[in-house]
Each structure stands twice: as C-alpha cells, then as structure tokens.
Amino acid sequence: MSAAPGYDSTSSQKASAYAIVGADVALADRLLQRHAVVVEDGRIAGILPEDACDPGIARHRLEGGILAPGFIDVHVHGAAGSSFNDGDVSATASAARAILAAGVTTLLPTLASAAIPQLLQGLDAIREASTLPDMPRFAGAHLEGPYFSSAQRGAQSEAHLRDPGDGSADALLARSAEIRMVSLAPELPGAVALIDRLVDHDIVAAAGHTDGTIDDLLRAQRAGLSHVIHLYSGQSTTKREGPWRVPGMLEASLASDDLTVELIADGKHLPPALMTIAYRALGDRLCLVSDATSGAGMPDGSRYRMGPSEYLVDNGVGVTLDRSSFGGSTTLLPAMLPIARNVLGIGAIEAIAMVSSVPARAARLENVGEIALGAHADLVHLNDRLEVLAVARDGLWNAGRNHH
C-alpha cells in the first residue's frame, strides 16, 4: 500500500501510554482473548497477554465486547444536515464530527457531481476542516463524478455530467494531492486516458454510474482502475446483441478477480439475496460503504441537499423528490455492520474486515484499518451485536463527541 496523498489530520492531543484490557481484540484473522493493546503516543505499541502487561502501566478497562479497528468509509457525502458538497468549512467539520462520533475514524469525504468551481470549493473546505481539532482522519477526497453516464446517473445531477476528455480534469488534477479516489464511467470518451492520469497521480480510479460493458471495464482495468463503487447501483446489466449476451458492469464486477467493490448495507438499497450474491462472488474484496448524505440522522420527511439537488428522507432512506431513485443513504457506516453480519451469516472478524481492512486496501491507506504494531490507535469498542459503544482517535476515547 502507499500512503494516502491527502490529509493526515491529527487530534488536538495524543494519548499517553496506557493499556486497553477487558475486550476481545479483533486481529485480521482471529479474536484474541485476555489480551491487552498498549497505546503510546497515539500508536499501537504492543499486543500481548494481559497478565504479561507492565503492572505499572495505566489501564483502560472495557466491559467485554470486542476491540476493533476504527471504521473506514471510502464513500460518504455528509451527515446530520451537512454535506461535503456545501463547500463550507463549518458544515464539513460538523458532518465529519458526526461521522467520527458514530465510529468512523478514517473517511474519504465524497463530493457528488457539481460544477468544477463547486468541486474545488468543496476541496478547499475539506482541506481547512482537516486542520481543526477532533476530526476523523481525512485520507483525501473521493470525487464521485462528474464523469458519469446519463443513463446510469441515478441521483447525480445530469446538468453537471461531463466527458472525461473535455479538459475539465486539468483543474481537478492540479489538486491531486487532496484527492484519493475518482469514480467515473469507463465507457465515456477519454475515460481510459483519464484513468492513466489518475494512476500517475497515485489516485484510485473507480468505476461507477456506468452504462458500459465488460469490455469497457477490462480496458479500464488494464489502465489501472482497481475499484467499483456501490454494487448494483448505477450499473448496467447483461444486454442482448442479436443472440449474444453481453455482460454489463454488474456482471463484470461480480466476475472480477482482483477489483475491490463497495456494497451499501443499509437494509434499504439491496435485498438480502443481492447482498448474498455479492459476498459469495467477491468474498474478502467486498467492503461496506455508507454513501451517507446530509440526511443521515434526520427523521422521515426531512429534505436535504447533495450538490445542486434536493432529496427526501423516506422510510429510512434518501430518495429523489419524485421517489424514482435513491439519493444516497441516510444510515452511517457503523449501523450497517450488524445488518451485513446478520444478512450474510458471517463471523465478527469477516464483518469487521468489511469496514476496516478491506476499505483500507481499496483506498491504499497505511497504518489504519487494523490493530497492529505501529498502526494508529484508531479504535472502536463493539458489543456482541457489533454495535459501537465507544470510539478512540489516536488513542483518545469519546472521539468526535466533545463538540456535540
């Protein structure tokens, strides 16, 4: 993995040395019982049997449950009435703190399709918010658009869709150090050339809102595309050309050997059967994302904005005002973890990986998404139902809640 080129925003302080005890410790392949995790200067400095721990070190005792890595959301637009597309520092910080308080310690703040100046303004606000205290770890922005297919735009603003080869990417790539991922439709004119440029700038190229075929995806992969956003949403499916069946982006994603792929597990976007198919096909390359909007945490009937468009919270999910399309989710990532575990019938370790190590791999992030020596002490305490009880950022507990 390479280090994220975006922001490594830091807490206002770092935790002094102490040992976390009392909970099972979620490693990549197993749960450790009766072990301590030693935190020093905001990093994990030791993982050892509790009875081997220095008797003089301070202890932070958890009452059972699981100590897991802090969650990573690589596709999240906002929360609690604020959107990253607002281009406002205060709104960006408010959304980020709500996301952190819920259990997401690292995120790719995601900007939906908008005019290029508005996207640049969004990047400005993300950069400035990353310097404020009590923020999650900003690992660079995710630009979800504007290079998308009109036929598969979903809730994306049609007025702001563009072709990758129209020259507008120059202004965005001038800010490449602030961008971690760009989603685009691989079949559009200039898409493969843009993927080449993204890869050269160490930006993850992802397929999304695409009406292309398996051949389009394969060409994009050869150019370096490595990720697919929100499986089943904004994806073409098999079509007929005469007697021949041509796989679309959905089937191509499911059949892929090395792509990482996102799933929205809010219990609204996808029925259990489709989630099960995705897990059977993709296994440890499937990560959960919230696709949460500023509507996250707001009651039914609330209206919210994402980019230039307005949406409605209806039956616990975001929809367009005519209810013809989803408009992102209104569920934050930690609440999706128990849903995915129950629907898929998987163990705690497999489920936790879908919100930690797999998204870290997808976004090529270092020292997050795992409990390992030298990793950031970004942690969550979960109960046995995998619900978040407490959050630590750089080893400091109650992260994100001091400003609520």
Q: 63-83, pLDDT tens digit by residue?
A: 999 999 999 999 999 999 999
pLDDT tens, residue by residue, 193-208:
999 999 999 999 999 9
pLDDT of 320 reads 86
Question: What is the arithmetic mean of pLDDT over 296-312?
Answer: 84
Angle between helices 333-344 and 272-282 (to 10 degrees): 80
Provide DSSP, 260-273.
EEEEE-SSSSS-HH
Band (pLDDT 50/70/90 cuts) for residue 13 is: low
Q: Residue 100's domain is classified under what CATH number? A: 3.20.20.140
Residue pair 183/152 in contact (Cβ under 8 Å)? The answer is no
CA 368 to chain CA centroid, nearest Å = 13
Q: What is the pLDDT of residue 7?
A: 47
The reported pLDDT for the residue numbered 323 is: 87
For residue 315, what pLDDT band results from cuts at 50, 70 and 90?
A: confident
- Identify the pLDDT of residue 356: 98
pLDDT at position 244 is: 93
Question: Is 60 exceeded by the pLDDT of residue 10?
Answer: no
Does 250 reside within a domain? yes
In a 10 Å sphere around its CB, with 0-12 CB exposed, 13-18 middle and 19+ buried, how is residue 324 labelled? exposed
Residue 258 lies in a domain: yes
Q: How is residue 367 written in tokens?
A: 């020292």
Determine the Cα–Cα distance for residues 18 and 60; give it in Å rounded to an integer. Answer: 7
Q: Is residue 337 part of a domain?
A: yes
Q: Is residue 216 part of a domain?
A: yes
Q: What is the pLDDT of residues 251-280, one digit of tens each?
A: 999 999 999 999 999 999 999 999 999 999
Which two structure tokens, joined as six digits, stand for 65? Answer: 């449950």
Both structure tokens of 190: 């200039």
| pLDDT tens by residue, 89-116 | 999 999 999 999 999 999 999 999 999 9
Q: Would you say residue 3 has pLDDT above 60?
A: no
Q: Is the pLDDT of residue 9 over 70?
A: no
Q: How many domains does the chain have?
A: 1
For residue 247, being part of any structural domain is answered with yes
Considering only 151-165, 183-197, 208-222, which range has the smallest mean pLDDT?
A: 151-165
Which uninterrupted H or E stretch holds 120?
helix 116-129
Q: Which residues contact 169 (CB under 8 A, 6 or more apart)?
A: 147, 194, 197
pLDDT-derived band at 12 (thresholds 50, 70, 90) equals: very low
Q: Are 139 and 194 in contact (CB under 8 A)?
A: no
DSSP letter assigned to residue 364: T
Model confidence band, residue 151 (pLDDT cutoffs 50, 70, 90): confident
Confirm whether 47 is domain-assigned. Answer: no
CA–CA distances in Å: residue 164 to residues 32, 174, 260, 385: 48, 15, 22, 44
Tell me, yes or no, whether 32 lies in a domain. Answer: no
Confidence check: pLDDT of 401 > 90: no
Using CA atoms, how far residue 68 sits from 208, 282, 342, 344, 390, in Å, is 30, 23, 18, 20, 11
Q: Give a yes or no: residue 327 inside a domain.
A: yes
- Domain coverage including residue 353: 70-365
